[in-house]
Structures are given as C-alpha cells and as structure tokens.
Amino acid sequence: MVERQLAARGVDDDAILSAFRKVPREEFVPEDLREFAYDDAPLPIGEGQTISQPFIVACMIDAAEIASGHRVLEVGAGSGYAAAVMSCIAGEVHAVERHEKLAREAASRIGRLGYDNCTIIAGDGMAGLPAEAPFDAILVAARIGQVPDALKHQLKVGGRLIVPVGGDDIQQLRCITRIAQDGWESHDITPVRFVPLLEGVVPEDGARASSDHRPARDMSTPELIAANCTPLPDIDDPQFAAAFDKFADKRIVMLGECSHGTHDFYAARAAITRHLVDNHGFNIVAVEGDWPDAAAYNKFIRGEELRQDQESPFQRFPGWMWRNTVMPGILRALREINAGRDEDAMVGFYGLDIYNMASSIEAVLAYLDEHDPDSAVVARERYGCLTPWQADPATYGRVSLSKGYAECEEDVVKQCNEMLRRSLADNSGAFSAAMNARLVASAEKYYRVMYYGGSESWNLRDSHMADTLGHLLENRGENAKAVVWAHNSHIGDARATDMGAVRGEHNIGQLARERWGDDVALIGFGTHGGTVSAANDWDGERETMRVNPSRRDSYERLCHDSGVERFLLDLTGEGELSRRLLAPQLERFIGVIYRPQTERWSHYSDAALPRQFDAYCWFDETRALEPLGKGEPHQGVAETFPFGV
C-alpha cells in the first residue's frame, strides 16, 4: 500500500510513509472487510461512515505539514485510523467523532494499540475543540459547504486547516492557513469526495443491532447500501473476480454495462470471465456482437488456422465496442487457457447479434462452396434479392416496404431452415454456417420491421440473441455454462423497466429467466460519473465525453451517496433495503450514442432494480474505453491476430 498507493503517487515525506507502515489498517475496519483493508479505496465502518482512502489521508497529512511536537485536531475521527497515523508523527492528537458508538470503539482501539498521545472523544466537530485550542493543524474528514469560523479561530498563527469544501458531487480539498490574528489565506489542493459533515452528536440509544448498528428503518437508503454491499478491490486484484464466485453454480451469468464505452465495465467483465472460465467450468463467452465477426475471435482463442486474406473483424460502427484496449488481453488469456485443454473442453467466443448480414451471407456461401457446391448455387439464387443491399441493409429495409419482397423473405427463411437441418446431421462446421443463416433470416426481417417503428424490431433482435444462446448451450452439451456480455438494457429483465411495462419490449435477460429460471444470474453495472467513449449520432465519430453526475432522483445517486467506491450488491435478499429499492427510480442507460444536453429524456428510464437484476456492480468514477488504432496488421501473424499488438 505504501509503495504503490502513496510513494508512487508523489507522497515522499519519510515521516508520513513511516507512519503508514507502522499503523495496521486492518485493525480499523470491520472484521468481514479485513481482506480489503489495504485496497486503494474507502471502506464502510458503520453508521453510514467510511474509513477514507489511504492516499487521501496521506494527502491531507502532507498538506497540513504536520511535524514532531505539533498539536493536531481531527474532525470526523471515524474508526480512528487517520488519528493513529498522525499520532506517529505529531506530538499530540485530539479527534472528535459525532457518532458516540464510533467514538467509543475508536477510543478503545487506540488505547489497545498503544497510541498514548492520541485522544478520541464524542462531540460536535462543527464546534471544534476550544478547550484544547490552539492547534498547529486541523483536519476535517467530511465535506462542508461553509467553513465554520470556530475551526479557523482554533488555529495557531501559521497553522493549517485542511477541509473538503463543496457540494454533494465533488469537493475541493482546501488548505486554509492562518497568517495573522485576524488573517487567513487559502488554496485548493485536489478534487475529492467525502461524506457530509453534520451538526450534533448521535447518541448510542441501545437500539442498534450488532450488524447494522441501528434499526434498518432508521438508516437512509445510501447507508443501507453501504451496510449491505460487498466492497470490491481494484479490478486487477484476484479478489475482485473471486467476489463473483457466488454465481459460479449458475448455468448462465449475464454481465451488463450501463454504457457501451466504459473501460471499467469491460475490464471488470474480462476479469470475471477469465475467473469463471478458469475455475468454474464456463465454456461459452457470448457477446452483444455479430456472429461472423466474433467467429474470428473464436478461431484465435482456439488456436485455429486463419485465412491470409482475413478481414479485421468488428470494423463497422461502433468499432470501439469490440476493438478496444481490453479485448486483446482477455482473448489472449482465453487462448492460453484453451492451449491446455482438449478440443471439446475449450472455451468459445460467440456473437449473439444480427447486424452483420453481409458477412453471414459470405460465411454460408463459403461453407456450401466447400461442402456442397450444388447447394451453394441454390443459396446464391435465394440470397440474390439481398445482394444489392448487403453493404447497406438498412436501405433494404426501407425499399422492402414496397410490394414484391415477400418472396425474398420466403427464400431467406427456406435457406435458414435447410442449414439448420444440415447442422443437425453434420457438425463439421455446419453449426456455425447454420448460425450465420439464422442471422441472415433474422436480419432480413429486422431491417424490414425497423421502419414500422414500435417494439417489434427490438423484440426480434433480443429473441434472436436468446435463441442463439440456447443453440450454443445445446450444441456444447449438458455441461455447457455461458458468460454473456451485453448492455444493461438487454440483460436486465425488461418487465422491471419502462421497456416492458410501457413499450411492450422484452429482452434476452427476461427470456433467459423465463427459459432457464434460477440457472440464470443477471448482474447490472453502473457508475456515477467520469468519461465515456460515445458518438453524438449513429455512425458518427467517437468522442471522449464527460458523463454528467447522476441525477438526485436516480438509483445511481443512491449508490454514489453510499460512499463506497466499488461494490457488489446482492439484490435477491429481502428486508428494508430491498423494500426501498423496489420503489421505481430513474436509471441511466448510455449506448453508443450519448447526448448529455438531453440526458434526462434520452438516457434515463424508470426501473425497479431488485426485479431487474440479481446483483449490481458499482463503480463510482469510471473512464472512457479506448479503441485500438485502425488497420492494425494481422494477416499471417497468428500470435497477434486479430489486433496486431
């Protein structure tokens, strides 16, 4: 922690680094969170409070310029961790905590660990501690809109007050220096997020349970989320993916995302997928991407020979969805896993979607050219009515509204049925060709019905994805287990959102629950703010956009206000939290298009989170997904295909 989180970020004061090495952080967190004690994140400590991120504590101590012999006041002692660290540097530390229970526990902990120059008391931090003033440094561990004069006046001349100042979303960590008896100057240090500083003392009333500290009815919803969630370490920590072991007994685990352009969601799904494949027998990775493009990735991870003239997959808009800086790592990891397995036990990578009609037609014809040239001639005739529109199938959809295209649909469906029958009798590549034939049939209908509007085109698409998943499970046999990557709008049960309740739409999550029941786990992903890769219009240029902070009337704001940076929340339980979350709230959905200026109407919809998902994975601040450069060379380079990096 000291080397990676503090020294590596520029904290170079030997006294501070030494103090952090001395104080055992695991002693200051709840017993069930000790394994996360040294993560780069705040952790809940009860009463809706958190122990701050280690780096932020170090920043505050560094900014306060605490030295040997100094007298220090901390407002918001919490668990007592920061006070303990400061006591290893300063001469005397006084810490005030408004929650009597936390103050009592912190004082007991400080005494047991032997920090004799540190005193923790229950009190109102807004008033400071006038009986012990003046102080060389005052540190406030909670956000505040207006700095109390009482704290400024309790500084010595030359003393420093370090305090987060600002509103609910982001505050500025501010340093206020007393330069004269009636003079102060200030400067901002860095943006931060803290829980609010509140007035008054919270007494111990004897009504708090040992697990929740208070009756659930007396806790706010964000406090209940903090008390019930499982805090998560960094994504690259093995314990991150291990937290999802609770879903390892499912046959299908669906991993969502609330945007198509967020690095953290892709990196998290990659870590979880690798863990489930490597440790729990999952052998299907199915994504919201097209079958023919995903087939190239599937060949790569299975170590199969690739055509020298193979086109780079996933070239159409939005290319960053499946050609990004996360994908090479997970594909190489799956390839390494497959290298040690028999062919029947290998994990496969498959596309569920229906957009790439042209490549699917090419794949069907290529298969028939090799295995049944006579049938290939017939197939070319049947697909003839689609040929002019392969490059722009949406144009076909518009033209097909005119008379005379029913025969084309009949021919396409007939070809699909023949390929499906062929796949039942011959599994040497016929299965993939049949899936491509299904895609052509579904896409032909999709591009027609989309011009009528309404729910039919959406329902057709998600029905196709659900059916493709069913075919994959059937093809891989009774031991097949699938991880699915798709947007929250596809995997969250549509019946729990406006999609189903108002617009009459269903999705793959709903259809999977209806078909496989308790063998399915639906896990949504969400964020409060940060950046995202998106475009302003379909087929537009990708931009790195700033995500608006979540709305106050949204599920995202409830999660943000919990104060926990990353967590996994089980939504299958009963109790006060479940009851409150069942009340419909706004939920944000960002696809490949993001329009911040119209966000309320274009990106929020009502939902009932516990009915929509089985669990919810939260990242408070996220960053944009980075695309790979265009045209990476890969022809003939099996070790680097399909990315050339």
User: Which amino acid is present at 612?
Assistant: Q
Whether the bond into 222 is cis, omega within 30 of 0: no
Q: Which of 446, 455, 417 is nearest to 353 (CA)?
A: 446
Tell me the β-bridge partners of 172.
Answer: 165, 191
Q: Are strands 615-622 and 520-534 parallel, antiparallel or unpaired?
A: parallel
Q: DSSP letters along 556-583, please? A: HHHHHHTT-SEEEEE-S--SHHHHHHHS
Q: Is residue 602 annotated as a catalytic residue, yes or no?
A: no
Q: Which of 269, 358, 267, 356 is nearest to 319 (CA)?
A: 356
Q: Which of 339, 378, 379, 382 is nearest to 363 (CA)?
A: 379
User: What is the 3-state secondary structure of 47-92?
Assistant: CCEEECCHHHHHHHHHHHCCCCCCEEEEECCCCCHHHHHHHCCCCE
Phi-psi region of 631 (alpha: psi -120 to 50; beta: other; left: phi over 0): left
Gap between the terminal Cα atoms of the chain = 31
In this structure, what are the phi and psi dihedrals at residue 93, rounded to the nearest 5 degrees? -125, 130
Phi-psi region of 245 (alpha: psi -120 to 50; beta: other; left: phi over 0): alpha
The secondary structure of residue 18, as a DSSP letter, is H
In this structure, what are the phi and psi dihedrals at residue 576, rounded to the nearest 5 degrees? -65, -40
Catalytic residue selected from 18, 52, 211, 463: 52
Q: Measured over all CA atoms, what is the biggest interatomic distance in the chain, rounded to whole angstroms?
A: 98
- Active-site positions? 52
